[in-house]
Amino acid sequence: MNILVLNCGSSSLKYQLIDMADESVKAKGLVDRIGLDDALLNHTPEGKEKVVLHAEIPNHTVAIKMVLGALSNQEYGVIKDLSEINAVGHRTVHGGSKFHSAVKIDEDVIHKIKELYILAPLHNPPSIAGIKACIEEMPNVPMVCVFDTAFHQTMPAKAYTYGVPFDMYEKYDVRRFGFHGTSHRYVSERAVALMGRPAEDLKIITCHLGNGSSIAAVNGGKCIDTSMGFTPLEGVLMGTRTGSIDAAIVPFLMEQENWTVQDVNNFLNKKCGFLGISGVSSDLRYVEDAAANGNEQAQLSIDVFYYGILKFIGAYTAAMNGVDAIAFTAGIGENSIDARAEILSQLGYLGVELDKEANQCRGEERCITTANSKVKAFIIPTNEELVIARDTAMVVQG
């Protein structure tokens, strides 16, 4: 069974074609700058050279056509024709309170996702554009939505309820949803496997640290809390997002700077975080370099980031009445030796004992604590595409 996994952004589309027989990636790629000048498709067939195709790509339908053309191309394709694609899995950011797991796409599902546009105005419309384009091109192929919010739907009300009047929750669904759920799920399941004990017995904290970062508490295989909230703005410091701040700062700045709602939204999501504090970059690598060269603001942004993560780990340990394993994933979690070392070396009180040598590695699944460490820590490269493909296979096979 071949499954096409699609992740549509407003101007980009990432894809992987996965052969479920051995879960191998037959081809992967990215359509970038959809609707803009210089649109292009980067296509990498398994075991072959990358192909770069430039074309006019005004919308997602043309992008999907190009992807399908590349996948079935005689020279650099990996399938003979489109009949070899058995199902499509669509990454969908926001499932609101409506979706607790992956679902087969039909008119009703599309309608419900559209109803969630108000909660995810930047993310859900491109998903629907991708879904519609795929249906146009492959009307008879079953399709499945896998939601970024679904894994967090097991949170209890005390974790997802904000201190606002209850009718705001009832009227507008103002509550914590959490994001990166597919990644937290994959990483927590891998951590369970590496611990070699049943999921029911384990308390795991997963740290997805990338451009956007979130932390989740997974008790007995179920997410019980996560740091992102109603939107992906809440939680720890991120590349360009504030993370949690006093909400009163928002009206204060709007008044001082004479900002509109759009201005302040843009500010909180695009101008803050590492970029805002350091003034250097949203990319931790540049911030780390600047800090190493004596830039104090760059160092401060790193300190704020680590401190925030430490506080979440402490809070989630309290929430679960203990912790057995801490897992690091995504760009920073998988690659920053310093970030892992600085965070774990502050957790001696929990019984974490870092194995400094094992930690000298990037992007490789492994344990990075000593044999005696009471709480284990792991690097676990995330694989959201594989989870989407597995969910898609499961849903279409009933």
Interface contacts to ligand ADP, rule CB under 6 A: 210-212, 239, 283-285, 330-332, 335-336, 362
**Minimum distance, C-beta of residue 371 to ligand ADP, in the bound complex (Å):** 27
Distance CA 29, CA 44 (A): 6
Indicate the residue among 77 and 331 with the shorter CB distance to ligand ADP.
Answer: 331
**Minimum distance, C-beta of residue 331 to ligand ADP, in the bound complex (Å):** 2
Indicate the residue among 292 and 394 with the shorter CB distance to ligand ADP.
Answer: 292
**Minimum distance, C-beta of residue 205 to ligand ADP, in the bound complex (Å):** 18
**Minimum distance, C-beta of residue 82 to ligand ADP, in the bound complex (Å):** 29
Give the sign of the dihedral formed by CA 236, CA 274, CA 14, CA 77. negative
Of 191, 208, 192, 211, the closest CA to residue 200 belongs to 192
The answer to whether residue 148 is catalytic is yes
Which residues, listed in sequence order, are joined to residue 206 by a DSSP beta bridge? Answer: 216, 327
**Minimum distance, C-beta of residue 282 to ligand ADP, in the bound complex (Å):** 7
Identify the three-state secondary structure at position 54. Answer: strand
Q: Which is the catalytic residue, given 19, 38, 81, 148? A: 148
Indicate the residue among 28 and 175 with the shorter CB distance to ligand ADP.
Answer: 28
Place of tokens 């629907």: 128
Determine the Cα angle at 373 with ends 370 and 377, to 5°.
75
Angle between helices 60-71 and 124-137 (to 10 degrees): 50
Indicate the residue among 2 and 382 with the shorter CB distance to ligand ADP.
Answer: 382
Structure token pair of residue 117:
């546009």
Of 269, 381, 398, the closest CA to residue 335 belongs to 381
Measured at CB, which residue is nearest to ligand ADP? 331
Strands 325-329 and 376-379, by their bridges, are parallel
Of 55, 23, 20, 21, the closest CA to residue 39 belongs to 55
Indicate the residue among 336 and 359 with the shorter CB distance to ligand ADP.
Answer: 336
Indicate the residue among 78 and 354 with the shorter CB distance to ligand ADP.
Answer: 354
Amino acid at 157: A
**Minimum distance, C-beta of residue 142 to ligand ADP, in the bound complex (Å):** 28
Structure token pair of residue 298:
């760059």
Asked if residue 123 lies in contact with residue 233, where contact means CB atoms within 8 angstroms, the answer is no
Which residues are known to be catalytic? 148
